Amino acid sequence: MIRAEGEDPIMASPPINIPSLAIGEIQVTMSVRAAQPTLHGEWYWLASGQHEFSPGLKVGFPVLADGEWHTYRVNVAQSGMLLMGDDILRVRFDPVNAPAEIAIRSITIFTHCDSSQRERCICYR
């Protein structure tokens, strides 16, 4: 549970290493209370060769601020902003864009498997 007092709260993952072509959907289950009924959340990712998160590498989504639990899914693979050969090294989550009370139940990063290359499938939580 956190209380965002500004318009740009952020959370960042520990280091990860997911090939850009293997990343799929990022899912978060959270409850948000705010003065506005609808807010905006964003996922950013740090790709190999970058030193900080870029405003060009993000996917946004609407957030309901009704105090109920909702699961939000963002498909990073369909963003059109992943480059072959890059690795995703970290993700950043901006849960809302306004002051709010936020409770997070889970965050999951899903990956795709290529069975022809005998890659292991992993889910990051």
List Cα–Cα distances, 90 to 12, 45, 54, 69, in angstroms.
7, 6, 12, 25
Q: What is the pLDDT of residue 28?
A: 97
Q: What is the CATH T-level fold of the domain 2-117, as seen in this structure? A: Jelly Rolls (2.60.120)
Mean pLDDT taken over the chain: 87
Percentage of the residues of the chain whose pLDDT score is greater than 70: 89
Cα 42 from Cα 60, distance rounded (Å): 4
What pLDDT digit, counting tens, does each position of 69-100 carry?
A: 999 999 887 887 777 678 899 999 999 999 99
> What is the per-residue pLDDT for 113?
63
Closest CA to 82 of 48, 116, 40, 42: 48
* pTM of the predicted structure, to 2 decimals: 0.85
